[in-house]
Structure 1
Amino acid sequence: MEIRNNDPGAVQYGNFMNYYQFNSATERVKLLPDKDVWLSNGDSLDESSYLVLDVGCNCGDFTQLLHKYLEECLKRPVRILGVDIDARLIQRATDVNELHENINYSCVDVLDETAFGQVTQYLEQYNRQQFDAVCCYSITMWIHLNHHDEGLKLFLRKMSCLAELLVIEPQPWKCYQSAERRLKRTGEVFPLFLELKWRSDVEKQIEKYCEETLNRRKIFESTPTKWQRRICFYR
């Protein structure tokens, strides 16, 4: 998980050490919808814990704000499991976590079956088979660059199986090009970059896959972030 040539922007897996210095967690929360999007029909009277999986949680800044937002919005207990591929980021998140009973962090590569067991074990604690919401904010590109089109499809299938509500903030193609340029400056490249078939229309391809293959329906799309990314909610 090392940084190349001491360049914090040259990372292979999106594990930026200073992510929230240039991508405000507070601004992202402002784009989130009201409770009608987060809840399915009949959930409004449910007082059980609302379970969330935050995939690619980085150092946990947004995870903490998301917990506060959802508890205020839903008026019920919220429990979040934040996972990230980088153990250093998970340690930072754990060190500043003041909500140990409500938020847990774990170092997990969600495409690694052994590590993924930690996610299913978390669900078992609550006698649940799915999370109420699985959040994938700005991580699809990193899955895609490192695992090809088929790896991204596998990721989407796995997350969909775990989720009542699937939340995805996909990066547009220009972000892929920027990531490739940053890595090239260090003398390295993403080996699969030129082989990707989902390219300039990657956002549309993800939406099409969610709707046509995973049989989900997009129920909300946020206004664009300053990076021109839209947060999409699929049920």
Structure 2
Amino acid sequence: MDLNHEISQIEHLDTLKVADKRKITNSTNEGIIGIKKPKMHAVQEIPPQNMVTAETFVNVQYGARTEIPSATRQIAHKSPKKRLQLDVAEIDGGQQKPDKVKFIYGNYNQYYGYRNKGHECEDIRLEMFTTHTKLFQDKEVLDIGCNSGLITMEVAKRFEVKSITGLDIDRALIKQANKALLRQKKAQPLENEARRLHKFPYNVNFVHANYVLRDDVLLEIEQEQFDVILCLSVTKWIHLNFGDAGLKQTFRRMYLQLRSGGKLVLEAQLYDNYKRRKKMTETIAAHYKAMQFLPKHFTDYLLSKEVGFANVELMGVPKHCAEGFKRAIQIFHKR
């Protein structure tokens, strides 16, 4: 047998082996190879009209009043901190922004140094608070727009609050506040009276969140959880970024979160202070142009049936500070 004939036989045998393998594979996978399976389409369950699911309620627009199902009501049983974090806002997203829009929420990283020139870390408003010590003593307090936490921690330290939560929309400022709080805790002995009695610095907590909710429907699950709410020089920034509707919702949320007999301590900026910031972003410019709910209307609105505060008193107007910071501080009382 010559070499060419032998090579030809070997190639023929290899071809037969390959064919046999294909037959085995085809028989083993019968019903799979060569047969197209029908595509399976997942059936999307559409909730009944006016029903809100726990997964989607923050992103859907609803009418004036919507019934809240039991799944969503479970959120109301979460801790106060988790309820406050329903709508956490990412400010920078890891990207650099021009200085022009860096502080669009009034989230200045050296705010207290700028405001309290000549007073170092002392905030002049704290002097006014000393005339109302009972307002804070043994109370649960929320400080909205706490910035780096100076006022929050001083109130906790000086006035023996039961607890105080500082909340800000800027994650970096909350991180800064938590670092300062940690330094205070590290300065304490491992076993100490303050820790045992839950006194300063163990009565302070900081939360990164946007206090303005995505939809008014979320007000339906609010619960009374604070005795005092501080809103100091924050209204302008809420107003410019979220418009008349956002600020009105904020006032209603404050009322709902206060217990019976609770107090809102409000330091609102004057309308004249808005003008310098009205072109910071397109959103701010649009809100400023459409604004009809002005600071001069705040008191009447807070005392109206739409919100519900019973009465208001003037705590005072801070002295010995820059003219632009001489703002009336009011106390609104809830029945």
TM-score, scaled to structure 2: 0.55
- How far residue 32 of structure 1 moved from its aligned partner, in angstroms, is 2.1
Partner of 1:14: 106
Mean Cα displacement is larger for which, 210-219 or 86-95? 210-219
Superposition pairs for residues 143-162 of structure 1, below 5 Å?
143-162=238-257
Mind listing any 5+ residue stretches in structure 2 that lack a counterpart? 1-90, 117-121, 185-199
Partner of 2:312: 218
1:176 aligns with 2:265: no
Q: SS at the partner of 2:229?
A: strand
Q: SS at the partner of 1:32?
A: helix
Which amino acid is the alignment partner of residue 313 of structure 2? I
Distance 2:131 2:263 in 1: 14
Question: Are the structure 2 counterparts of residues 96 and 174 from structure 1 closer, same or farther at C-alpha, using a change threshold of 3 Å?
Answer: same
Distance 1:63 1:36 in 2: 15
> Does structure 2 conserve the Cα–Cα contact (< 8 Å) formed by 1:70 and 1:78?
no
> Does structure 2 conserve the Cα–Cα contact (< 8 Å) formed by 1:78 and 1:102?
yes
Partner of 2:213: 112
Residue 157 of structure 2: which of 68, 72, 78 is its match? Answer: 68
1:28 aligns with 2:125: yes
Mind listing any 5+ residue stretches in structure 1 that lack a counterpart? 40-46, 72-76, 124-128
Residue 80 of structure 1: which of 147, 164, 181 is its match? Answer: 164
Mean Cα displacement is larger for which, 160-169 or 80-89? 160-169
Q: SS at the partner of 1:167?
A: strand
Describe the superposition over 1:12-57 as per-residue Cα deviations: whole angstroms up to 9, x where unpaired. 1111111101123521111225347627xxxxxxx9x410000100
- The one of the two structures with greater contact order (alpha-carbon pairs below 8 A, sep at least 6) is 1
Question: Are the structure 2 counterparts of residues 189 and 130 from structure 1 closer, same or farther at C-alpha, using a change threshold of 3 Å?
Answer: closer
- How far residue 93 of structure 1 moved from its aligned partner, in angstroms, is 0.1
Which amino acid is the alignment partner of residue 128 of structure 2? L
Question: Are the structure 2 counterparts of residues 189 and 158 from structure 1 closer, same or farther at C-alpha, using a change threshold of 3 Å?
Answer: closer
1:136 aligns with 2:231: yes
Which amino acid is the alignment partner of residue 144 of structure 2? V
For the aligned residue pairs, the C-alpha RMSD in angstroms reads: 2.9
TM-score, scaled to structure 1: 0.76
Distance 2:285 2:241 in 1: 7
Describe the superposition over 1:106-130 as per-residue Cα deviations: whole angstroms up to 9, x where unpaired. 101112369xx9xx99x8xxxxx33
The alignment-based identity, stated in percent, is 26
- How far residue 86 of structure 1 moved from its aligned partner, in angstroms, is 0.5
Question: Are the structure 2 counterparts of residues 36 and 211 from structure 1 closer, same or farther at C-alpha, using a change threshold of 3 Å?
Answer: farther
Q: Greater CA radius of gyration, 1 or 2?
A: 2
1:57 aligns with 2:150: no
Partner of 1:166: 264
Which amino acid is the alignment partner of residue 151 of structure 1? G
Q: SS at the partner of 2:142?
A: strand
Q: SS at the partner of 1:14?
A: coil
